[in-house]
Structure 1
Amino acid sequence: MTTPDLTFILGGARSGKSRHAERLALALAAARQSNVTYIATARQADDAEFAARIAHHRARRPAHWHVVEADVDLAGAISHADDGRTCLLVDCLTLWLVNLISPVDGDEEASVPGHWGPRIDALETALAQARGPVIVVSNEIGMGVVPLGAMTRRYVDELGRLNQRIAALARDVTLMVAGLPMAVKQGSVR
């Protein structure tokens, strides 16, 4: 099953995925004579470098975009913002999954797959039921060497599974390579 207005954009770090998603969101909003709601998934920055990354994203976004900062309830944020007209831009699943697997409060129970699996199911449902256009951004991190640490391997595996689920739902999937969009799936069912 594909979702008619779901676009999934993947890429490595600094591949241009967020910038591409932002341009696409601007074009969709202009065509629909609507606006964009940017759903940010990064939690508070723990260091200066990450704070600079967040500031860079904020500075690049148009001031008239509505911004929602989603916590672990990304499905709720999408459902609440989806009015059928506004383009939703979710940036990014990579950080959202970190929030699920490594909760800020250090809650060990929350990091157990059975505990956060329902949140992933809810996200998939929210995307499948969205009435307006949705663009989702995620990192493609499984193309390198196998990580040495068990937690890092688990994260890479879980993000790969999550990306597969969202790609299966999406009408269009784009892989960003060195700032260039590479069409992986266009308007088809897989």
Structure 2
Amino acid sequence: MSDETREPFKRLFFALNCAPEQRRAIAQWRAALGLNIGRPVPAENFHLTLLFLGTVGMAQIAGVCKAAANIRTSGVPLTVVLDRLDVWRRSGVLLLAPAQAAPELLRLVYALEQAMLPFGFEDTHREFRPHLTLMRDYRAPVPESATPPEFYLRADRFSLFESHKGRYIALAEWPLVAS
């Protein structure tokens, strides 16, 4: 085994975090759906993934952070309207998504994709489909809701998260708004 294959690594992704009050509101709304199938995502893990990097060697993390810090943003907070309940059947996920993705969100994702190109991450070539995962192992149609979803995820920063044993840990964050 070479030194490269033994290098410690982390599973990383960039995301917009949910504020605690947003998490509570979404979790309450999900509970009102009365679902008894699938595994609920813990409310503390609610986020909107911008770019999944996958397995990243520890030696690359400082470079990833430096590249993210150099991204030029619009200078205004992002608001993502999560107003559509959907199921991704192949991956067995129940999720909230925007009916229409905000142009500022798409620009941020594109900037992240471009900034990460030099690192050669294989998982960064997926089509971006903004969403917030509510349930995993969900194998049923889209449930009916007495109250249609209408959540406003407001973000003034984006973060680099590590996925570790079912928890998401913010490793670094960058402002979307100049201070």
Shorter-chain TM range is: under 0.3
TM-score by length of 1: 0.25
TM-score of the aligned structures, taking structure 2 as reference length: 0.26
Is the helix fraction higher in 1 or 2? 1
